[in-house]
Structure 1
């Protein structure tokens, strides 16, 4: 057997030619030294094909694949990777196609970490390659009853490819409760993906666009199984979205975002239906608790409500500090999660008066300083104080605490408005004075005067108007909590209703 070091020295010109993308030099060397085709060119056992694939040279890979047999394509290097494993790392779909067309068995060969090429591509985040390999890989490779490939692929796809994740769970429901190599479940990974849900980080304009219309969801079944009305509505909806994508710039991203929201919601529903199949009650509670409190910290209200719909008892779950979900929502300043307490009925009294491991109640949680990530979402110290007061914050200031709810913001709005009015009138006065003095000497002086006078006024309006709107909404708007309004007259007998109107 030849010494690898001696072979790597002897075939160094081939290594340089392949790695540098020199096709002609590669062909010339291989014509003169045919034995170098499948020989190791490095101390790691890389062949010419491994080097070309990792370097991403499609033309050289095509040349080498044409010279190599299907069996030789499956050769592994020192760390157990085939050329297709390397292609999955590099992410060049065209190279993967060349290899798979020559030998489909490469799709089933794992590396030393027991990861098949599809899983490797998903872990590296190569969307196009993942889609191609998912269609080509035998579906049996993803069966959770025999291998762990499906669980790793599912958790990886939740980060980027929801439609593949959804298809996986629908094909193999057991994947919903399977753990990957990091002991993470699909439910926990989904709880770490707030951007997949519409309640997170959406401005009102984009939210209204996403909420309008309907789009085609995968797995709705073939069109001929739907009723006539549904088919008509589907056609109208399809035409509506296609028209918007063509006519409105950037609308494709909004369409894809809406599709992601729908797929994430359906994936969550599928997982929640499957979780009860866990026979170990301790493990079931651990899976739910870990995902639930992560979703509360992220503020994903859709996730929490879906969990509560399937498992109402989760409101009595406590974290390692003996805090329920409403305590954590208060500490993390997640008002949408906290607002769910108003729908708890009589249970809210018990939930709200609980004490944690450090003998803190819910008011103490509100008194702690909010996380910086939540404070930074509000402009200015005054509005931050106002928001904290809505969480029962007591702050040291020359104003009374309740002044920050309306008095200080109102004064700030008046001050900004007066400042804008003062600046505008000052510039108008200055412009008129210059015009009167210079109009007889310079006939065209009016245009530059108007332009220069408008500049500071425009800049001030652009910089301060968003703050003025935010202050107004925060002060006189509906507030941060979605608390239901109480009826003046409780529903009951006619006598009580009559008494209310007297």
Structure 2
């Protein structure tokens, strides 16, 4: 009882202390708010209402873009992660209110707020979708796609969104980029894109991410990093199960708009066999795709050029007729042996040390 009394005393006292700031924000009076914050600099990140909201919560809830911009200039980025007593960040409130401009300002300051859930375990993009804010959905989707291009740890955010709204998997953003395209450019997010030493591979093969993994992170150097990679790999494989079925009923034009043709060539070029298989499983005729930007080569030829033996072997096992798979010659009349004679990509040559071993590996493509 005493603890409850102290809690409400603190909240009420804090609210009373900063009531002048609240009134200034309520009246959209930045000059008064600025003057108050100059005298009370800590108030910019303080909870100023009985419900635990900060000045940013208030400004965002009122939809005051100018106030939000000014507050963001004064506050540390960590303050954007503060939640009210109802477990809402300022971005969560914005997702309800629907201001695209405010959301972009906040995400530019601290992109991590895109992954913070409210009390209903919903991230801002999901909240926005539930409330039907289409412009904000598009804006936040573009933010997630952009960050996902540079940060594998945002795969959990993409998974959360697509498990609820799977149609977004094939929806391009304002730049024409879809999540399918982004993942196809990230071999490091997949098991096939990582090489491990003997001990690392032994540890990695533990199927479950549970107590054994967590114990090893404390006992064996470098295992924590492997644990984090394993988590990402598990999440990205789950993500494929959500994404790829979305292309199964698309026509040719819809597949192009979703970036499926581009994605199948990217996965072949990077050797992302997991993604390659899932794409073909969902849309088998993608195997006959032709890349007009590369002299009309097919997937078989792409595998040879990129020296991706896992993709090459998989296509070989499909037993597809050569002429239909577009693998006889390119527009420049280069056949498979010609392509094997081209210099291997540096990323593949670097996998083998020494010119002699590199040459030996190259010769194997002619056998």
Q: So what's the TM-score if we normalise by structure 2?
A: 0.72
Aligned length: 326
1: CA distance between counterparts of 2:125 and 2:334? 54
Q: SS state of the match for residue 181, structure 2?
A: helix
2: CA distance between counterparts of 1:77 and 1:369? 54
Q: Alignment partner for residue 307 of structure 2, among 333, 339, 348?
A: 333
Name 2:44's counterpart in structure 1. Answer: 61
Q: Alignment partner for residue 387 of structure 1, among 337, 356, 361?
A: 361
2: CA distance between counterparts of 1:327 and 1:124? 44
The answer to which structure, 1 or 2, has the higher relative contact order (CA under 8 A, 6+ apart) is 2
Instruction: After TM superposition, list the pairs within 5 Å mapping 1:17-28 onto structure 2.
Output: none
- Are residues 214 and 63 of structure 1, via their aligned partners in 2, closer, same or farther at CA, if it must alter by over 3 Å? closer
1: CA distance between counterparts of 2:331 and 2:89? 62
Q: Alignment partner for residue 48 of structure 1, among 27, 34, 42?
A: 34
Task: Tell me by how many angstroms 1:386 deviates.
Answer: 1.9
RMSD (CA atoms): 4.1
Q: Does 1:180 align with 2:156?
A: no
Q: Does 1:155 align with 2:145?
A: yes
- Are residues 113 and 323 of structure 1, via their aligned partners in 2, closer, same or farther at CA, if it must alter by over 3 Å? farther
Name 2:10's counterpart in structure 1. Answer: none
1: CA distance between counterparts of 2:291 and 2:89? 53
Preserved CA contact (<8 Å) 1:210 1:258: yes
2: CA distance between counterparts of 1:156 and 1:64? 31
- Are residues 352 and 136 of structure 1, via their aligned partners in 2, closer, same or farther at CA, if it must alter by over 3 Å? closer
Preserved CA contact (<8 Å) 1:317 1:324: yes
Which runs of no fewer than 5 residues in structure 1 stay unpaired? 1-26, 216-237, 393-480, 482-502
* Structure of larger gyration radius: 1
Q: Alignment partner for residue 92 of structure 1, among 70, 78, 82?
A: 78
Name 2:261's counterpart in structure 1. Answer: 289
2: CA distance between counterparts of 1:69 and 1:335? 53
Task: Tell me by how many angstroms 1:269 deviates.
Answer: 1.6
Instruction: After TM superposition, list the pairs within 5 Å mapping 1:409-424 onto structure 2.
Output: none
Preserved CA contact (<8 Å) 1:170 1:270: yes
- Are residues 35 and 352 of structure 1, via their aligned partners in 2, closer, same or farther at CA, if it must alter by over 3 Å? closer
Name 1:259's counterpart in structure 2. Answer: 231
1: CA distance between counterparts of 2:260 and 2:312? 19
2: CA distance between counterparts of 1:326 and 1:318? 10
Task: Tell me by how many angstroms 1:152 deviates.
Answer: 2.5
Task: Tell me by how many angstroms 1:313 deviates.
Answer: 1.6
Q: Alignment partner for residue 241 of structure 1, among 209, 213, 217?
A: 213
Q: SS state of the match for residue 290, structure 2?
A: coil
Q: Does 1:164 align with 2:160?
A: no
Q: SS state of the match for residue 391, structure 1?
A: helix
- Are residues 203 and 48 of structure 1, via their aligned partners in 2, closer, same or farther at CA, if it must alter by over 3 Å? same
2: CA distance between counterparts of 1:63 and 1:341? 60
Name 1:231's counterpart in structure 2. Answer: none
Q: SS state of the match for residue 174, structure 1?
A: helix
2: CA distance between counterparts of 1:356 and 1:245? 50
Name 2:204's counterpart in structure 1. Answer: 210
1: CA distance between counterparts of 2:41 and 2:222? 33
- Are residues 245 and 188 of structure 1, via their aligned partners in 2, closer, same or farther at CA, if it must alter by over 3 Å? same
Preserved CA contact (<8 Å) 2:300 2:312: yes
